[in-house]
Amino acid sequence: MSPEYQFSEEVDPATLQRFNCFTTLPVRLHKNNDIARKAHRQFAKEWKAIIKDEKLDVDFRQSPVGHIASLALPECLPERLAFAAKALDYILAVDDATDLPSQPRPKSQTKRGIRAPQSHGWRFNTKQKHLQARLLLEGIESCGKGIMDMLGPAQAVLESLTVYSRECTSFDDYISLRIVNMGAVEIKSFVCHTMDMAPNAKERDAVYHIIKPLEVAMVLTNDYFSYPKEKALHPLQDPPGALFNAVPILMVEHGISEDDALALVKQMVIEAEQEHGMLLEELEQEGGLSTDLRQFINACRMATGGFHIWHASNPRYDVEGMREDKRSVRKIVLSWF
């Protein structure tokens, strides 16, 4: 597959090495990353001005390499990049809010979800709807009414964040649920809308076996790089619940140490990418790939590669700098975000 690129440039290998990236997929950065950065700063101000809740004073730091929209959507149409950046920032803010330490709940409450249930209520209040309306209006003004097509996938990703885990009996059980929980399916639709492409539905279904390894790689990339932060936040939840990450599941399933489980997750990411590459090569040898389908597959590859470096280089996942004298829950949380 030799795609042509219009709006992006390759991230140099030295940068990948500096952040200990191990992805085998293409990693590119949108040439208009400054647009995404500007939109990011605007969204942070809007969030803080509208939400006005210390409990939801969440992380707005991005990777020094580029904004997540510029890395995961490197071929996004330039006129849609600002909206895409704000939409992804909003999703990340919602995700962060659900991970914040909760207030104590009644002891009689026995059902425990992975994400703190008390966080869910704020999503549907007036402030949150106001912010959503502003994002929608901006999207229509900058991209036209066609931007409405992006609302479905974006809302689906938000809804996926509320999916509670059950007791996973195996890693296979976990990975199936995690793909849904992370919104990996909806992310592909979002990618299509930002690039203004619409591959045939039957064709997409026919190559899902090639795309699924990318979903697995994306999920496990998140688990690998976010595990230290999740582990640190876990005891602050009330009640703690279960840590929804592949690492502890693999520790139990294989009877291995935490370090070995982390190494296994890394190996699984690489193997998933290799499986994707092998299946793609077989498909290309068979021939018959339409231009739209080629573009779709490469967009998914770029999204997964961009997702990888964004996680690897993002200070939001670094807990090493936490100072021991930050004793209040809010200060602890803000030191990580």
Task: Please tell me the pTM assigned to this model.
Answer: 0.83
Quote the CA–CA distance of 109 and 104 in Å, as a whole number.
11
Kind and range of the H or E element at 273?
helix 258-286
Give all domains of the chain, ordered by start, each with its CATH number: 28-318+325-336 (1.10.600.10)
Q: How far apart are CA 281 and CA 267, in angstroms?
A: 21
Q: How confident is the model at residue 11 (pLDDT cuts 50, 70, 90)?
A: very high
Q: Is 10 helix (H, G, I), strand (E, B) or coil?
A: strand
Residue 68: which of 336, 316, 326, 303 has the closest Cα?
Answer: 303
**Where do we find the tokens 């580029």?**
66
Q: What is the pLDDT of residue 121?
A: 47
Distances (CA, A) of 168 to 80, 122, 125, 172, 235: 39, 28, 32, 9, 20
Residue 155 has pLDDT above 90, yes or no: no
**Tens-digit pLDDT profile for residues 97-149:** 665 554 444 444 433 344 434 444 445 467 777 777 888 887 787 777 767 77
Query: Of the candidates 179, 184, 208, which has an alpha carbon nearest to the alpha carbon of residue 296?
Result: 208
User: Taking a C-beta distance cutoff of 8 angstroms, is the pair 334, 57 a contact?
Assistant: yes
Sign of the CA dihedral running 117, 120, 121, 127: positive
Residue 168 pLDDT: 75
Q: What is the mean pLDDT of residues 221-232?
A: 91
Query: What average pLDDT does this structure show over 44-73?
Result: 80
pLDDT at 30: 98
**Span 319-334, pLDDT tens digits:** 764 333 333 334 333 3
Rounded (10°) CA dihedral 327, 330, 336, 337: -170
